[in-house]
A and B are shown apart, each in its own frame.
Chain A
Amino acid sequence: MANIDQESRKHVKDSLAKGVRYDGRRKDEFRPIEIRTGFLTTAEGSAQVKCGDTEVIAGVKMTMEKPYSDTPDQGILMVGAELLPFSNPKYESGPPDAVAIEVARVIDRGIRESKSLDNKRLCVKAGEKVWTINVDIAPLNDDGNLIDVGSIAAVAAILNARFPVVENDKINYRKKSDEPIPMNRIPIAVTVIKIGNNLIVDPTELEEQALDARLTVTTIDDGRLCSIQKGGMGTLSIEDIDKMIDLATHKSHEIRKLIKQE
């Protein structure tokens, strides 16, 4: 069923209070993460990330467009996410709803605000033409924690991307160059959720449905924070936030290592 009932929610909560997660993980433990890149021929860059039963594909398409008037010499990054009804019975067809937009925006801001993209390289001619990097995230199977898994996929796909060849001012999408998108930092989003008095990472769908509050923290390589999003109806104390950021930062190092190995 699409929604779990009150009973299962209570059960998740009670078990956690005893220190038990349904799948036997520790509170600070991610499901095993597998990353595969560069398998799509039509995308300039691609990544498939599997984290437990959650599985997403991210693809990069690049175009040249007119820059925004307030940033005439900077490239444009756009992250999109659709919660495909394909990936979970709870989603419906139609334009992205608030949940999907939040997923896309949190990932988008995490990458954008990390200032990791070299905008100078993305500028072709100031005021006239800049590269736009479209990253689209498509879940194949949603079993929770889409923001984190989507963010890993998005970053891995950007790192995997190669500029298409430009011939006489026109992009030839059937030819890729050797040139990667210049990215000097690896931003990683980690979401910590609070259920009762417990803080856990990488929630499954079931755990997500039992959450009181969540905090998504995006960090860069040196441990500084670049984006934060609080979600859920419940509240967080300053002490909670302190712990959640530490946990997220700690986890981000492990995940960054995985991406670098790719």
Chain B
Amino acid sequence: MDYNKRLDGRDFDELRPMEAKAGVIKKADGSAYFRMGNTVAYAAVYGPREMFPKFMQDPKKGVLRCNYNMMPFSGAGERVRPGPGRRSKEISAVTDKALGAVVDLIDSPNAVVDVYIELPQTDAGSRCCGINAAAIALADAGIPMRDLVSAVAVGHAGNKICVDLNYEEEHLPEFLEGLDDHDVADIPVAIIPSTGEISLLQMDGIVPKEVLMKALHKAKEAAMKVNAVQRAALREKFASHAIDNGYNSNGDGNIDGENGYGNNDSDDATAQEDIDGI
């Protein structure tokens, strides 16, 4: 059976409403909030700081260490047991790769940059939402990056390619009669916007190759929309710093060095490049 109209009324290539904010966790060196529909992610970045345990240090460059965690009350069903499980460890690992592709830590040997992704509420697409938050947080922390990373899940449900699946679409056979489990595939993708390259790709479900290729193109288009929201969040934070907080007593992330504001330390200069480079 075909899926002709999406359960929540969206167009097939329409993302859920997005919302993003940079600089939401005070104690962190960089942080962000990213919402895609009912999936909400916070990301906090600490570092570069000394890597412990020491045997994990790399004398040639800093290490990016991502940690994905669902809060116990964030699941659609029963309470999620706190602490790392197989799923969250794997997602942490693929998130590392997704973001590691753009992060350059050559100037921070033996150091670690910790990225903590916390999800208070999920409704499918949580790893993508986490990556989107983390990319903003890394830029907010002034970590040297070649670009942001923008992620979105595309799915194949009832013979249609759907962008940014929600929980109901991921479990479509439960909500729509005439479909079975074979008819749904979920494909999270992370894109580096400036080059269109892919730094995260996973798929669960059965699809022919042509469909996958089409889905990747859809993902790329959708990721550009995500990217616009990410950039806007960074602009908003740094613009308000330049105007309202000229002396920037926090010392974090004032990018407006040119106008004689701010303390011009090296981290800030990096953040400025990131913003301008977008």
Contact = CB atoms under 8 A, between A and B. Distances in A.
A binds B: yes
Interface of A: 40-44, 46, 53, 57, 59-61, 63, 80, 82, 84-89, 93, 95-96, 134, 136, 138, 140-143, 173-174
A141 B26 contact: yes
Nearest to B24: A140
A42 B27 contact: no
A143 B26 contact: yes
A86 B116 contact: yes
Contacts of A136: 71-73, 79, 82
Given A89-B49, A95-B83, A136-B79, A59 B74 contact: yes
Contact of B76 (A63, A141, A174): A174
Interface stretch (B97-105, B120-128, B219-227): B120-128
Contact of B77 (A86, A89, A173): A173
A96 B118 CA distance: 16
Contacts, number: 92
B275 interface: no
Interface stretch (B7-15, B38-46, B188-196, B257-265): B38-46
A89 B50 CA distance: 12
Nearest to B49: A89
Nearest to A1: B49
Chain B's interface size range is: 20 to 34
B244 interface: no
Given A84-B116, A86-B116, A59 B71 contact: yes
Contacts of A134: 72-73, 79
Contacts of B118: 84, 86, 138, 140
B114 interface: yes
Contact of B75 (A42, A84, A95): A42
Contact of A43 (B24, B26, B67, B121): B121
Interface string B16-46: 0000000011111000000000100010101
A156 to B, nearest CB: 14
A134 B78 CA distance: 10
Interface string B72-116: 111111110011100000000000000000000000000000101
A144 B116 CA distance: 20
B122 A85 contact: no
Contacts of A44: 73
26 contacts: A40-B121, A41-B121, A41-B123, A42-B73, A42-B74, A53-B27, A60-B73, A63-B78, A63-B79, A80-B82, A82-B82, A84-B116, A85-B46, A85-B67, A86-B25, A86-B44, A87-B27, A89-B28, A89-B46, A93-B84, A134-B73, A134-B79, A141-B26, A141-B28, A173-B77, A174-B76
